Amino acid sequence: MSRVRVHNFSVSLDGFGTGEGQSLEAPFGHAGQRLHEWFFATQTFQQMHGQGSGDTGVDNAIAGTWGDGIGAEIMGRNKFGPQRGPWENHEWNGWWGPDPVFHTPVFVLTHHPRPSVEMEGGTVFHFIDATPQEALRQAREAAGGLDVRIGGGPSTVREFLAADLVDHLHVTIVPIVLGRGIRLWDGLEDLEQRFDKVESVTTPSGVTHLTFARP
């Protein structure tokens, strides 16, 4: 069976995966870019966004595994865009530009389904109102035997962890205290006990990469 993976998911010391006050201009709310500075500096990120350089150290090596063997992504609606409630129109196609970085089918979880959108570069956004289990069933079918990535945000990752559907969880702990926002770890007591392998490594950028994995 294909595996379900989370990559490059940044949290603050107090466990927030995003800040408070998400908007079009501030996808991570008051956190700004602070949770992802380590990632923006990597070659992986720079190349995802069509730029040429970027660091090639350990952060990059770890970040760069995000796409290996991935055939589909599932994301929460807030990772697609800041809208809440019914879609006002279908013209804005998300934060990710005309050629999104995913290059696979992407299942956007929303209580307000809308028609699928085919973007450049192989990304197709599907909008579904589904449980984690049902979303995963659809994503697995679309992934053609490859792995499925749970792309975030924190509520979506937390729901898939709570349903015990995640086989590889890579969280990056950033040494800041956000104070408010959406927490990753709530309701996940003893999460580590479901995994065979727990690894941590701190890199020179100051972040700690934590991985929970099982076969």
Look at strands 147-152 and 4-12 and give their pairing. Answer: parallel
Query: 62 Cβ partners below 8 Å, 6+ apart?
Result: 8, 170, 201, 203, 209
Among 14, 55, 144, 160, binds a second copy (CB under 8 A): 14
| Euclidean distance between CA atoms 143 and 4, whole angstroms | 11
Q: Which position among 124, 130, 162, 191 is part of the footprint of a second copy (CB under 8 A)?
A: 191
Q: Does 1 sit near a second copy (CB under 8 A)?
A: no
Site stretch for a second copy (CB under 8 A), options 9-17, 51-59, 62-70, 111-119: 9-17
- 201 is a contact residue toward a second copy (CB under 8 A): yes
Q: How far apart are CA 90 and CA 179, in angstroms?
A: 34
Q: Which stretches does DSSP call E strand in 46-92?
A: 70-76
Q: Min. distance of Cβ 178 from a second copy in angstroms?
A: 7
Q: Considering only residues 150-189, where is the footprint of a second copy by CB under 8 A?
A: 171, 173, 175-180, 183, 185-189
- To a second copy, the closest distance from the beta carbon of 155 in angstroms equals 15
* 207 lies in the binding site for a second copy (CB under 8 A): yes
The one-letter amino acid code at 148 reads V
Q: Is 82 in the site for a second copy (CB under 8 A)?
A: no
Stretch of 12-20, 44-52, 70-78, 152-160 lying at the interface with a second copy (CB under 8 A): 12-20
Q: What is the DSSP letter of 30?
A: G
Residue 171 near residue 191, CB atoms below 8 Å: no
Could you say whether residue 97 binds a second copy (CB under 8 A)? no
Distance CA 97, CA 101 (A): 9
Q: Which helix (H) or strand (E) holds 174?
A: strand 168-174
Supply 178's token pair: 């956000």
Question: Closest CB to a second copy among 24 and 201?
Answer: 201
Site residues for a second copy per CB under 8 A: 13-15, 171, 173, 175-180, 183, 185-192, 198-202, 206-208, 210, 212
